[in-house]
Amino acid sequence: MRALESEKELANILAEEKGKTVLLFSADWCPDCRFIDPLLPELEDKYQGITFIYVNRDKFIDLCVQYDVFGIPSFLAFKDGLEVDRFVSKDRKTKEEIESFLDKF
């Protein structure tokens, strides 16, 4: 999973990326985020048509505010640069819940 390096990079990704992009808001200290870490390679493999971007909540707090992400781990889904869905909460997410979110995207 590619880690976001700058807000400008995200702006470029959303402006230029055609297709599906999912932002995963997370943090190293978050136990619920660490819970889903082992699932991420499998999800990326299963959903190869989606570009996954890791957004470090501590490094990009302004993006969290901009996108109303106040709980982690959280997922935002974009199609052709426009937000189309979100799975945002402070609750631990299961593999089944994440797959259900990705399946409807």
Catalytic amino acids? 30, 33
State which amino acid sits at residue 42. Answer: E
CB count in 10 Å sphere of residue 79? 15
> Which of these, 46, 53, 50, 3, lies nearest to 23 by C-alpha position?
53
The three-state secondary structure class of 21 is strand
> Which of these, 104, 78, 100, lies nearest to 23 by C-alpha position?
78
